[in-house]
């Protein structure tokens, strides 16, 4: 355990008393593992001999699973289809200690599924089944009603956007407005080409690719991050920005006592990286639970850095527990 984690042990113990509300694009992550020994005679592609298949909650569902793994209570809001993938997702959520009771069903939409074929710890191909259309007026109204009813029992709100139509530019401002009117902090992971819908958010957590989309300019290194953040921050209405920068760590832009945002960089611990899938969900979950437990954004980021360093050492869509953070 690092010195900082020792000093935050009291905070970690309060995780179990927090209640989080997660809204966003839920999906099922499927993994087909196998081995490759030859190339297909039909096309220049590897032949994967399947050895096992695994399923896990993905997207907002993975964020919720990470929150539950940290010991917090979580309500998950999202939309699935009425299909086999939805049933599989419900089973996966149950295994992770997350209720699927608040999920809405829209028979006109397929449940989002990402299927990854992995051979010798290398991803060969990914297959996506999804709809990116915005929610119907009826489904959107039902979603807002469930969101409003869940707010009073929540300590913080998490918005997990994967660009599948759940968190449209029309609905996001309403969610933030409802949450802030109830005095709840809002932490979000964006997949939009504009920062405008996220105005009023407590913390926006893009990676470099997402920041580039928000800023309309390339973000390839830390200096690019600083420049792009300066473009995005005025649109957030005083909200903080946390940019995850992979092996370069994370940079937090938080309002200071005077005008402007002073960047604070958090280096990433040296770790062997096996799989970055879902690491952003782990970071978002850790940040949200920490903030709900009373942490400052800086302290929450310290914990998020440590959580990310641990989850990338796992293969597939995985979670981190408080015990792993302390270990």
> What residues act catalytically?
281
Band the pLDDT of 258: cuts 50, 70, 90: low
Looking at the predicted structure, is the pLDDT value of residue 6 above 80?
Answer: no
Q: How far apart are the C-alpha atoms of 11 and 197, rounded to whole Å?
A: 32
pLDDT of residue 224: 97
Q: Give the length of the chain.
A: 327
pLDDT of residue 269: 82
* Tens of pLDDT, residues 233-242: 999 999 999 9
Helices (H), the chain: 3-7, 9-13, 60-69, 84-95, 137-150, 172-181, 208-215, 222-232, 279-292, 297-311, 322-326
Task: Give pTM, 2 decimals.
Answer: 0.93
* Tens of pLDDT, residues 73-87: 999 999 999 999 999
Looking at the predicted structure, is the pLDDT value of residue 28 above 50?
Answer: yes
User: Which H/E stretch holds residue 266?
Assistant: strand 261-266
**DSSP structure class, residue 21:** E
pLDDT of residue 205: 97
User: Which H/E stretch holds residue 236?
Assistant: none
Q: How far apart are the C-alpha atoms of 241 and 112, rounded to whole Å?
A: 28
Q: CATH topology for 3-28+57-111+131-326?
A: 3.40.1190
* Tens of pLDDT, residues 30-82: 999 999 999 999 999 999 999 999 999 999 999 999 999 999 999 999 999 99
* Tens of pLDDT, residues 259-294: 567 899 999 886 656 667 778 899 999 999 999 999
Q: Taking residues 302-325, report their average pLDDT.
A: 87
Helix (H, G, I), strand (E, B) or coil at 147: helix
For the chain, give the percent of residues with pLDDT over 70. 94
Band the pLDDT of 2: cuts 50, 70, 90: very low
* Tens of pLDDT, residues 93-115: 999 999 999 999 999 999 999 99
Q: Taking residues 2-13, report their average pLDDT.
A: 70
User: Which H/E stretch holds residue 251?
Assistant: strand 250-255
Looking at the predicted structure, is the pLDDT value of residue 4 above 80?
Answer: no
Among 262, 230, 232, 264, residue whose Cα is nearest residue 249: 264
The values of phi and psi at residue 294, to 5°, are 105, 10
Contact 104, 23 (CB under 8 A): no
Tell me how crowded residue 311 is: count the other CB atoms within 10 A of its CB: 27
Q: What angle, 0 to 180 degrees and rounded to 10, lies between the N-to-C axes of helices 137-150 and 172-181?
A: 20
The values of phi and psi at residue 247, to 5°, are -65, -15
Calculate the average pLDDT of the chain. Answer: 93
User: 249: which 2 tokens?
Assistant: 């760590």
Q: How far apart are the C-alpha atoms of 232 and 250, rounded to whole Å?
A: 16
């Amino acid at each position: 355990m690092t010195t900082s984690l020792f000093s935050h042990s009291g905070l970690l113990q309060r995780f179990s008393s927090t209640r989080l509300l997660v809204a966003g694009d839920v999906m099922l992550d499927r993994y087909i593992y196998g081995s490759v020994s030859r190339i297909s005679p039909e096309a220049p592609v590897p032949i994967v001999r399947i050895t096992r298949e695994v399923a896990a909650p993905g997207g907002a569902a993975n964020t919720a699973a990470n929150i539950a793994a940290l010991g917090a209570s979580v309500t998950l809001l999202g939309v699935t289809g009425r299909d086999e993938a939805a049933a599989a997702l419900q089973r996966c959520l149950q295994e992770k200690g997350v209720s699927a009771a608040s999920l809405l069903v829209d028979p006109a939409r397929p449940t989002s599924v990402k299927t990854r074929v992995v051979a010798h710890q290398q991803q060969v191909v990914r297959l996506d089944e999804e709809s990116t259309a915005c929610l119907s007026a009826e489904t959107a109204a039902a979603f807002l009603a469930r969101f409003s009813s869940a707010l009073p029992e929540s300590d913080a709100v998490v918005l997990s956007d994967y660009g599948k139509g759940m968190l449209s530019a029309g609905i996001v401002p309403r969610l933030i407005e409802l949450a802030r009117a109830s005095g709840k902090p809002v932490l979000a992971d964006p997949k939009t080409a504009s920062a405008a819908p996220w105005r009023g958010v407590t913390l926006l957590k893009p990676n470099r690719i997402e920041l580039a989309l928000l800023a309309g300019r390339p973000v390839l290194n830390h200096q690019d991050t600083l420049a792009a953040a300066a473009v995005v921050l005025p649109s957030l209405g005083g909200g903080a920005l946390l940019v995850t920068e992979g092996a370069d760590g994370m940079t937090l832009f938080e309002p200071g006592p005077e005008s402007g945002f002073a960047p604070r960089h958090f280096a990433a611990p040296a770790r062997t990286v096996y799989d970055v899938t879902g690491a952003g969900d782990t970071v978002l979950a850790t940040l949200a639970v920490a903030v709900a437990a009373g942490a400052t954004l800086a302290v929450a980021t310290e914990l998020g850095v440590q959580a990310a360093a641990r989850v990338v050492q796992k293969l597939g869509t995985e979670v981190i527990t408080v015990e792993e953070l302390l270990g």
